[in-house]
Amino acid sequence: MADVRLEDLSKHYKRGSEIIRALDGVTLDIGKGEFVAVVGRSGSGKTTMLDLIGLLLRPTAGRLLIDDVDTGKLNDRDRAHMRALKVGFVFQEYNLLPTLNVLENVMLPLRYAKKGSDGRAHALELLERVDLTDRIKHRPSELSGGQQQRVAIARSMINKPSLILLDEPTGAVDTETAEQLVMLLKRLNKEDQVTIIVVTHDLDVASQTSRNIRLKDGKVLADEPAGAVPAA
Amino acid sequence: MEILRNIWRRKLRSVLTISGITIGVLALTTMGALSENFNALLNGGVTYFGSNVQVGPPDGQSASLLAISKIDEIKQVQGVAAAFPGYNFSAKPGQVTVVSFGIPDEIVAGDPQENNWAALKTTTAQGHQLDANSTGEVVLGSTIDKEFNKKIGDTIDLPVRPPDAKPDFVNHTFTVVGILNPTRTAPDTFAYITIADGQMLLKDSLPLAIRNQIDVSQITESIQVYGKPGSSISDLDAIADRINAQVDGVKATRPSVLVNSFRSGGAIFTAITTAAALLALIIGGLSVVNTMFMAVAERIREIGLKKAVGATTLDVMREFLIEATLIGVIGGLIGYGIGAAITIIANATTPPGQSTLFLLDLPLTVFAIGFATLLGAVAGIMPAWRAARLDPVTALRNE
């Protein structure tokens, strides 16, 4: 489980002479085992916040602490190592490697975690949990969108991370599949006590988490228990 | 495995790229084998002429004839340990010389003892070396033996009678007493006879008008001079200088002049053949660069994903470098395999008596495959660096 703390965190971009404040002085504390939804309109800073927490971006100002480690002090190599060991990613477009089969895709992060174990048994166990044991030799192109997203979720869990970050995980699937994915995430959150932060436009998804953080123009507009956030 | 699948993802493009390397390595292998063969031939000359001093007639003398008494005078020169007379004749007189990578067939007459002094020693595969006192016996080099298909005890008429020989053409029957092991250089096309028989052939070669007025037993065509064992080329050069200073009527050639001549000839040939092949290979290498840049452009999202799940800059770079190197290795192995097959088949189908054209040895094998591998790796550096430096956020959302 991860404790994530954002202290006056900002990310600014320059576009010509204009400064874009994608995230502007956000302070948040996300506790271990929480299931948090980050909502807001396009351009509100949701994805930027996710990228910062996932150590894919460096902040312009402020501090980001994961398990009390000040990530601003880490070099690129250590940040990559922390990503491999502590963070799992799930993207809207799944981002599975087309040349690898389902099992190989799930095992991909093991290569970079350099933990020394082959992790095959764990990968098979995860595929069983996402109900894909009969698809382990299939290529991504042979799977439906929902199945591909379940593979991506299994991949995000392979290194037993304490934090899973999901960027619009239901954006490319139908409603029924989206519901199944959310149920799966809730189960993983409960069974593994893993902290989950999901960026979503889908308020149905947001309503099933424990906490909703609403962003607007790079700032926190609301931070309330799920169900309290009004429709955009 | 993933890397092989990535290479195979774009089959046509990969095949074309690998073909570029294949053609380059094929050229390098065949041209290199040609060059190695030529160099082996020249190295024989370097070894032989680097171990003695060649003494012939002085500049301006038309006939290559020396008084055999010069040998005793030369033996008095400081540093000279041994000196032997020598006679050379064309084994196939009248044959039209064409451009060849081999040495023409020759009859070489000398003292069998010289073999103990020469750096380029010959050994018998069958039979035995000549007895200095024998006559009518011949030891054949491996190539000339194959050409005439002789076994120990067979006879051979030397020089070989040309089809259009004049009525007064003379040759003699020799019994084959030894067949030499291959040396890949001059001795392979030589027929060795004793001094007495050499003097007999010398007499046959003289114009009729003077043939009976010259005592050929007092004549030699050349003298090979040896220093004490272990003498360096500079020692032998010094001996050549002393011979020229102290012995009249002869011209000793510095061995360094001959050796340098052989070496420069080999170096030029090697430079031309290798440069042509390397040029082909480098063009192949450029196609690897192009392919890898395209692979990076196509797989930007994959690179972003790998970085997101923990790949470091070095991890990404390593994966693309391995892929480019593998293209080099595959192209290198296929090109070498085809090249090796061509050289083996060409050598195997060389008519008996002709020198083979190719020498495929271990250094060339290592160089051909190693260079292709290195080329693949070097060609992959820039694309791999570009891939490794990609910003993961931009890469992940690349359309």
Look at residue B62 and tell me if it is in a domain.
no
Q: Return the pLDDT at A1.
A: 55
pLDDT class for A172, splitting at 50, 70, 90? confident
Neighbour-count burial of B8, counting CB atoms closer than 10 A to its CB (0-12 exposed, 13-18 middle, 19+ buried) = exposed
Look at residue A82 and tell me if it is in a domain.
yes
Q: What residues pair up with B173 in beta bridges, in sequence order?
A: B157
Measured between beta carbons, which residues in chain B are less than 8 angstroms from residue A105?
none
Bond prior to B167 in cis (omega within 30° of 0): no
Give the span between the Cα atoms of A199 and B329, in whole angstroms.
45
How many domains, in total, are found in chain B?
2
> How far off is chain A from B12, nearest CA to CA, in Å?
17
Cross-chain residue pair B309–A89, CB shorter than 8 Å: yes
For residue A55, give the chain B residue with the closest CA: B308
- Touching check for A203 and chain B: CB below 8 Å? no
Is the Cβ–Cβ distance between A124 and A136 less than 8 Å?
A: yes
Q: Return the pLDDT at A15.
A: 85
Q: Is residue A229 over pLDDT 70?
A: no
Give yes or no: residues B107 and B214 share one domain.
yes
Q: Return the pLDDT at A231.
A: 45
Give the span between the Cα atoms of A128 and A124, in whole angstroms.
6
- Touching check for A168 and chain B: CB below 8 Å? no
Cross-chain residue pair A81–B310, CB shorter than 8 Å: yes
- pLDDT tens column, A196-221: 999 998 888 899 899 999 999 999 99
How many Cα atoms within 13 Å fall on the side-chain side of residue A115? 18
Is the Cβ–Cβ distance between A108 and A97 less than 8 Å?
A: yes
Last residue of a domain, one of B222, B242, B271: B222
How many domains, in total, are found in chain A?
1
A and B: number of Cβ contacts within 8 A: 67
Q: pLDDT under 70 in chain B at which residues?
A: 96-102, 353, 399
For residue B313, give the chain A residue with the closest CA: A77
CB nearest A108 (choices: B301, B309, B312): B309
The 8-class DSSP code of residue A31 comes to -
Look at residue A1 and tell me if it is in a domain.
no
Give yes or no: residues B267 and B339 share one domain.
yes
For residue B392, give the chain A residue with the closest CA: A56
Domain that holds residue B94: 87-222
Domain that holds residue A145: 32-58+76-225
Last residue of a domain, one of B173, B194, B222: B222
Which residues, other chains included, contact B35 with Cβ-Cβ below 8 Å and sequence gap of 6+? B269, B270, B273, B274
Strands A35-39 and A195-199: parallel
Question: pTM to 2 decimals?
Answer: 0.73
Look at residue A9 and tell me if it is in a domain.
no
Look at residue B93 and tell me if it is in a domain.
yes
Residues in chain A: 232
Is the Cβ–Cβ distance between B357 and B37 less than 8 Å?
A: yes
Q: Return the pLDDT at B101.
A: 63
**The dihedral formed by the CA atoms of A123, A128, A134 and A136, expressed in degrees to the nearest 10:** -10
- pLDDT tens column, A30-75: 998 899 999 999 889 999 999 999 999 999 999 999 998 999 999 9
The 8-class DSSP code of residue B149 comes to T
Give yes or no: residues B389 and B266 share one domain.
yes
Look at residue B302 and tell me if it is in a domain.
yes
- Touching check for B317 and chain A: CB below 8 Å? no
pLDDT class for A195, splitting at 50, 70, 90? very high
> How far off is chain B from A43, nearest CA to CA, in Å?
15
Look at residue B114 and tell me if it is in a domain.
yes
Look at residue B256 and tell me if it is in a domain.
no
pLDDT class for A232, splitting at 50, 70, 90? very low
DSSP string, B25-70: HHHHHHHHHHHHHHHHHHHHHHHHHTSSEEEEPPTT-SS--EETTH
- pLDDT tens column, A93-113: 888 998 899 999 999 999 898
Give yes or no: residues B268 and B362 share one domain.
yes
Look at residue A212 and tell me if it is in a domain.
yes
Last residue of a domain, one of B156, B191, B222: B222
Look at residue B217 and tell me if it is in a domain.
yes
Count other Cβ atoms within 10 Å, centred on residue B154.
14
